[in-house]
Amino acid sequence: MEVVLLPTPEECARVVADAVAGSVLGALAGGGPLVLGLATGSSPLLAYRELLRRRHQEGLSFTGVQAFLLDEYVGLPAGHPESYRAVIRRELTDELGLDPAAVHGPDGASGDPLQAALDYEAQLLAAGPVAVQVLGIGANGHLGFNEPGSSLASRTRVKTLTEQTRIDNARFFGDDVDAVPRHVITQGLGTILRAEHLVLVATGVGKAEAVAAAVEGPLTASCPGSVLQLHPHVTLVVDDAAGSRLARATHYRYVLRHKLAEQGW
């Protein structure tokens, strides 16, 4: 995988935005629709702001884009402000000009979440491959909501969150851990691997261990992020703090300095 190690989160955001914008422009040039995979969480927020800036100041158009979310809480009523569908609309897609009907996610409010997970997997398959999937990583190495121990071949399904993830995410629920749902529907690791290009962004020292385990550790379900090692096109964008535990950091910087212009993202 390509490890892009940059001094600041702002520089990371520009690279993520470049990768997404490149796919959007490529799809438009080819006359085809674009399936964009979006992650929630704080990691991609600066990149989303950069995409919004490009839309407003440079006329980058997202017309025709279909967006698919990675995951969703089970049990929050539709439209709940912390449901991931509501979050992504608020943080990105409304201002990008995407019709809410073009923003898809698992139906966490369904009375039958197991079926809702199967339905979402089918919907993803029918939409065609995700051209570019934006990812964050949890401090424990989770991707989407695939907690450690998740099958590396998993499909979209209902999962139970670790207590640590609920504690981490309580900040979005007024610091009330009890308000964080216990269950989620998440794309599986095998589902995520179907995307054509995976772009993971991680910033801050809190992610350093997870990033090192994902990039340089063994391929193991104990670190779901390590599944990226199986994918042919991964761009892992990290700031110096998140990359501080990478043993080959010097080499990654060397590669980046000597990247050929035609290599792109």
Residue of closest CB approach to ligand GLP: 136
Exactly one of 9, 106, 108, 138 binds ligand GLP (CB under 6 A); which one? 138
- Contact (Cβ atoms closer than 8 angstroms) between residue 167 and residue 142: no
- Rounded-to-integer distance, Cα 226 and Cα 148, Å: 10
The answer to the question of residue 67 lying near ligand GLP (CB under 6 A) is no
- Rounded-to-integer distance, Cα 74 and Cα 183, Å: 5
- Rounded-to-integer distance, Cα 187 and Cα 116, Å: 12
Q: Which is nearer to ligand GLP, 86 or 255 (CB)?
A: 86
CB of 81 to ligand GLP, least distance (A): 16
Q: Which is nearer to ligand GLP, 120 or 145 (CB)?
A: 145
The answer to the question of residue 42 lying near ligand GLP (CB under 6 A) is yes
The answer to the question of residue 164 lying near ligand GLP (CB under 6 A) is no
CB of 137 to ligand GLP, least distance (A): 6
CB of 59 to ligand GLP, least distance (A): 29
Exactly one of 145, 155, 159, 187 binds ligand GLP (CB under 6 A); which one? 145
Q: What's the helix, strand, coil split of the chain in %, to 5?
A: 45, 15, 40
The answer to the question of residue 225 lying near ligand GLP (CB under 6 A) is no
The answer to the question of residue 191 lying near ligand GLP (CB under 6 A) is no
Longest pairwise C-alpha distance within the chain: 53
The answer to the question of residue 141 lying near ligand GLP (CB under 6 A) is no
What are residue 207's phi and psi, to 5 degrees? -100, 0
The answer to the question of residue 70 lying near ligand GLP (CB under 6 A) is yes
The answer to the question of residue 71 lying near ligand GLP (CB under 6 A) is yes
- Two tokens, residue 229: 């090692």
- Contact (Cβ atoms closer than 8 angstroms) between residue 152 and residue 230: yes
Kind of pairing, strands 157-160 and 132-135? unpaired
- Residue 32 three-state SS: coil
Residues that bind ligand GLP (CB under 6 A): 39-43, 70-71, 136-138, 144-145, 165, 169
